[in-house]
Amino acid sequence: MGGCLLLSTTIGRADLLNEAQSLFAPIPRYPQALEHNPTTTEKVELGKMLYFETRLSRAHNISCNTCHQIGRAGADGRSTSLGQDWQHGGRNAPTVLNSVFNAAQFWAGRAADLKEQAGGPIANPVEMGITPDEAVVQLKGIPSYVDAFDKAFPA
C-alpha cells in the first residue's frame, strides 16, 4: 500500500513538472531592446540616481527604494507600504526585480509596461506625492541631474 502511494505521488509530480515546463520558460538573459530608446551606460546610471532619489517626494524622505528595497529582494516586507505622511497604501509592494519581463505591471495589470508604470508612484498622493511638473522643476534645480540628463539624452 505504501508502495502504491509512493508510485502515484511520483507520477503526479512528473505530470506537474511537464505541465509547468509547458507553461513557463527561463527568463531571458537580457531584456528586449526598447524601440527608439537603446540602453546606454549613461541612461542606466541616471536610472540608478533617480531610483534612490528622495528629493522626488514631497517631504524629501521617500524614494523608489523605500518600498522596493534592492537589499530586500526589491520589496519592503510590509503587508502594505508606507508612503508620504506615513500613509498606508492599499496594496502590497511587489518586487521590482525582473519586473521588466512582466506581461503587465501592478497587481491588476493596469500598466502595460515599465514606461507606462514609471510615472505613477511619483504622482501618487500616498506614495511620493508630487506632480510631474514639480518633479521636472526639482530635477532642473540639481546640477548633477542636468548633467546626467544631458549625457543620457544628448539630443
Under the binding rule (CB under 6 A), the answer on residue 74 touching ligand HEC is no
**Residue 46 or 121 having the CB closest to ligand HEC:** 121
CA distances from residue 145 to 7, 49, 69, 151 in whole angstroms, order as listed:
63, 8, 22, 10
Q: Which residue has the cell 520558460?
A: 25
Q: Rounded to an integer, what distance in angstroms lies between the CA atom of residue 114 and that of residue 105?
A: 7
**Binding positions for ligand HEC, 28-67, rule CB under 6 A:** 62, 64, 66-67
Binding mask 95-114 for ligand HEC (x = CB under 6 A): -x--x--x--xxx------x
Q: Rounded to an integer, what distance in angstroms lies between the CA atom of residue 43 and that of residue 38?
A: 9
Positions touching ligand HEC (CB under 6 A) are 62, 64, 66-68, 81, 83, 89, 91, 93-94, 96, 99, 102, 105-107, 114, 117-118, 121-122, 127-128
